[in-house]
Amino acid sequence: MNTTDYELMCQKAVENAPDWLKEDIAGILEKEGKHVRSTYVMVQLYNKYSFNITHVFASMHNNQEWTMTSRHRLNIIDNNIDLVDIIIKNVKNSMK
């Protein structure tokens, strides 16, 4: 695979990435600025979807939807760290 193929593959992967992921990354970068590291953005994503007060309120109302959604999203983030990094770089480049 040459560089052109890799860039094309990355572009298609970003286009097919979930909208919520792109929006969350853009929101974090808009809030914190474009000079934050990729690891900081990933920590913020993990903090958003890992166990927190939202899970407690959902369980109080017998609503398991948030728990399932957050697990699914954490799984996507874990399995696509390279894609998350590429999205972060694209958002940073578009902020210039």
pLDDT tens, residue by residue, 8-59: 999 999 999 999 999 999 999 999 998 999 999 999 999 988 877 766 666 6
pTM for the structure as a whole: 0.85
What is the structure's pLDDT at 78?
A: 94
Confidence band, pLDDT 50/70/90 cuts, at residue 89: very high
Q: How far apart are CA 55 and CA 88, in angstroms?
A: 27
Cβ neighbour number for residue 14 with a 10 Å cutoff: 16
CA distances to 4, 6, 66, 69 from 40, in Å: 29, 26, 24, 22
DSSP letter at 1 equals -
